[in-house]
Each structure stands twice: as C-alpha cells, then as structure tokens.
C-alpha cells in the first residue's frame, strides 16, 4: 500500500511541472450550455428597483450570460416585443463580466407594470416569452 502511494505521488510530481507550465485558456462555456443555464434561471432574467423617482429594470443576469445570447427582445406593459436590449460584446477571456455602466433601463416612476422578454440564441432558436410583473426591491 505504501509503495502504491509512493508511485502515485511520483507520477503526480512528474506531471505537475508539465501542466503548471501550460498557460491557462479562457474557460468560456459552449452556447448550448449557456442556453440550458438561462432556461433554468429564467426567473432571474430581469430585476427591478425603485431609485430616486425612477423605475429601474436590470438586465444584469443576461449581461453575465451574453456569450450565449444573440438578441434580447422586450416589451413593456403588455406591448409587443419590439425593443432590443443591446448586450455588450462577448469577451471570451472574461465571458461573465458585466462591465456596462448602466445594465438597466431607467423609466419614470410608476410607469412600469411588467416587462416581457424573449431571447434569441446563436443556434437561431428562441426562448419562450417570459413576463415579469414589476416588483421593486
């Protein structure tokens, strides 16, 4: 048993210098995996906040998964999904970074009752339309 542990340790030490010298690569996920994550986290696609007399609608969650989304269409208060949320460009070296100064919409106080959102994925498929009632935190 002791010999087996020693052999395993020797083998690990022989491999360690080789793997330690290989530069780290970007660890982005394939778009189909991001699509699955977005499906199970759809209740987090948007968030709301009342702030200094404005209704804020945050798209932070979608910005964090932008490398797996081509388009974000939305409509306010039951209107058609004709608006587009412009996602930042995907950075494969930092795929989940949210660097946008304002990852939210600013609307007049009391003007938002709901938002409906639909995503378009790189494979051309669309998510279901999800509607979120305005519930500020």
Report the candidate in 17, 30, 3 with the shortest Cα–Cα distance to residue 90: 30
CA torsion through residues 16, 18, 21, 26, sign: negative
Q: What is the pLDDT of residues 43-90, one digit of tens each?
A: 999 999 999 999 999 999 999 999 999 999 999 999 999 999 999 999
Whose tokens are 């409509």? That residue is: 75
Task: Record the pTM.
Answer: 0.77
Q: How many CA atoms lie within 13 A of 37 on its CB side?
A: 15
56: DSSP letter: E
Q: For a pLDDT cut of 90, what percent of the chain falls above it?
A: 72
CB atoms within 10 A of CB 51: 12
């Amino acid at each position: 048993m002791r010999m087996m542990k020693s052999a395993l340790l020797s083998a690990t030490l022989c491999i360690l210098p080789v793997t330690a010298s290989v530069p780290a690569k970007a660890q982005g996920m394939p778009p189909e995996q991001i699509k699955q994550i977005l499906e199970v986290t759809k209740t987090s696609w948007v968030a709301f906040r009342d702030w200094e007399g404005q209704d804020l609608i945050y798209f932070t969650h979608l910005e964090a998964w932008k490398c797996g989304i081509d388009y974000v269409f939305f409509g306010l208060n039951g209107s058609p999904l004709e608006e587009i949320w412009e996602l930042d460009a995907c950075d494969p070296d930092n795929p989940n970074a949210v660097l946008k100064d304002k990852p939210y919409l600013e609307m007049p106080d009391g003007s938002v009752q709901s938002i409906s959102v639909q995503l378009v994925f790189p494979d051309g498929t669309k998510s279901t339309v999800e509607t979120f009632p305005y519930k500020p935190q």
